[in-house]
Amino acid sequence: MKKSKTLDKNNSKNINDKRMYFIRNIEDLEDKSVESHKIEYEVSTDGYTVGECNFGPYYFSIWEISYKKEGEERKLCLRIKEKGYSQDDSSWKFADKEAFYHEGDIADEILALSSLFLRRRFKRGPKVRWNDEPRLFLKPEEWIDKPLITGKRKLTDLPYWLELVNGLDDNLHQKFILAVRLYYHAILFLEEQPDMAYLNLVSSIETLCREQNIGKVELRDLDVRLATLVDNIGNNDLKGKIERAILKREKFINRRFREFIVENIEDSFWSYKERPERGRIDPGTLRELLTRIYNQRSKTLHEGQPFPPSIFRPPLIGAEIEFSLGMIDRGRKWEPEDYIPNPHFFERLVNHVLKTYLKRNQKKNSKNK
C-alpha cells in the first residue's frame, strides 16, 4: 500500500511539473535507485559542426570522421540516459487538460534547442544503440495520410485543371497560388510534422476566405457579456455607434473560415468510397468541427497549446476522427469535445475546397464556365 501511495505522489508531482522533459529527467536520475536506460540516436546535419557536448545524462558528439564540403550531410551521435517507467505507473489517475505536453521527447527537445543555439539543422535519425548494445530501430511503414501514396494518378488529367487555372478570375490568381503553395508545403512534411502541416492547411483556406459573406453579425455573436454591457447604455445613438465600431474592428476569420469551407463543398466529397465505418464524420457536425480546428490553430499559435496526440499517428482503421472515449499522453488529457479531424480527412477537405473554388471562380468569358 505504501508503494502505491508513493507512486501516486510521484505521478501527481510529474503531471503538475511545467518544465521540459530533459530537465525533469536530470532531477529524476539523481535518485540512484531509479531504473534507467541509455539510448543512442543517429543525427545528421548539413553544416560544419565539431566537438562534443556533455550535459548531465546527455552526450552529443560528432560521429562521422571524414572530410565534408559545405552543405554535405554529416553524422553525429546523441546519447541519452533516461529514467525508466514502472508498470505500476498510474499517471492516468492524475491526467489533466493543462498538463505540460508536446508531441516529442527528450531527443526532440535537445535537437530543437541545439538548432536554435548553434544555428544548424539537426535531423534525428534512427536509434542505433540500446543500453550499450548495437540495435537499429527503424520506423515502421505506417502513414498518417496514406491516400497520398495509394492508388494511381494520371498526368493526362493535368491539362483539364491547368486550363481551369488559365480561366480563373485574374484578380484571384495571387491569392489562389499562395493558397496552393501552402497546401503543397503541408503535404510535403505531413508525415514528419503533422501539426505544422495542419497549420499550413488552415492557412491555405485563410488566404482565400477573407471576403466570405457571413451575413449580418451582431455584437452578441461576438461577446455576450460585452453586448449586455453595451445594451445598458441609455443613449441609443451612442449605443449603436459603439456596437458598429467594435464590429468593424473584428474580422470574424473563424466564421469566414468555417462558412467558406462549407460553401465550397460538393456532394462528391461526402460520397468518397474509401470512407471508414467507424470514426466517420457526419456532415451535420462539420461546422462545429471546423470551429474546433480554427480554435486549435489559434491556441497553438497564440497560447502555445499542443495539438491532440491523435493527429501525430496513423489513424486506426482509417478513421476520419478519433472515436475513443478519451486520450491521455504524459499526464495530459483530451476528451471527445477536444478532438479535431485527423490530418488525412482535413487534407482531403482542403484539396476538395481549393478545386471547387477554382471551378466556381472562372472569368465570365472563359470557355470553362
| 245 plus 258 within the same structural domain | no
| 59 plus 131 within the same structural domain | yes
* Residue 81 in domain: yes
Please state the φ and ψ torsions of residue 334, each to the nearest 5 degrees. -130, 140
Rg (CA), the chain: 25
DSSP designation for 277 = S
Q: Look at the block and give the residue holding cell 478513421.
A: 319
| 289 plus 157 within the same structural domain | yes
* CA–CA gap between residue 75 and residue 44 (Å, rounded): 5
| 285 plus 356 within the same structural domain | yes
* Residue 11 in domain: no
Comparing C-alpha atoms, which of 41, 187, 191, 58 is closest to residue 122? 41
| 197 plus 290 within the same structural domain | yes
* Residue 6 in domain: no
| 50 plus 39 within the same structural domain | yes
* CA–CA gap between residue 192 and residue 69 (Å, rounded): 27
* CA–CA gap between residue 276 and residue 314 (Å, rounded): 14
| C-alpha angle 67-69-74 in degrees, rounded to nearest 5 | 65
Last residue of a domain, one of 137, 163, 180: 137
Q: Which residue segment(s) compose the domain that 241 sits in?
A: 218-250
Beta-sheet strand order (sheet of 133-137): 52-55, 58-62, 74-83, 36-45, 122-130, 133-137
Long-range contacts from 62-65, C-beta under 8 angstroms, 24+ separation: none
| 170 plus 286 within the same structural domain | yes
* Domains in the chain, number: 3
* CA–CA gap between residue 214 and residue 256 (Å, rounded): 6
Cell numbers that stand for 106 in this block:
527528450
* Residue 7 in domain: no
Last residue of a domain, one of 137, 167, 193: 137
Cell numbers that stand for 281 in this block:
464524420
* Residue 172 in domain: yes
* Residue 15 in domain: no
* CA–CA gap between residue 314 and residue 344 (Å, rounded): 9
* Residue 293 in domain: yes
Largest CA distance in the chain: 81
* Residue 327 in domain: yes
| 159 plus 299 within the same structural domain | yes
Comparing C-alpha atoms, which of 310, 295, 317 is closest to residue 341? 310
pLDDT truncated to tens, each residue of the chain (369 aa)? 344 444 455 555 566 788 999 999 999 999 999 999 999 999 999 999 999 999 999 999 999 998 888 999 999 999 999 998 755 555 667 788 889 999 999 999 999 999 999 999 999 999 999 999 999 988 778 999 999 999 999 999 999 999 999 999 999 999 999 999 999 999 999 999 999 999 999 999 999 999 888 777 666 666 677 768 777 787 777 766 676 666 555 567 889 999 999 999 999 999 988 899 999 999 999 999 999 999 999 999 999 999 999 999 999 999 999 999 999 988 899 999 999 999 999 999 999 999 999 999 999 865 665
Q: Look at the block and give the residue holding cell 470574424.
A: 252
DSSP designation for 189 = S
Last residue of a domain, one of 109, 137, 165: 137
Please report, as a single letter, which amino acid is at residue 366.
S
| 266 plus 196 within the same structural domain | yes
Residue pair 41/65 in contact (Cβ under 8 Å)? The answer is no
| 85 plus 185 within the same structural domain | no
| 268 plus 321 within the same structural domain | yes
Residue pair 83/34 in contact (Cβ under 8 Å)? The answer is yes
| 155 plus 231 within the same structural domain | no
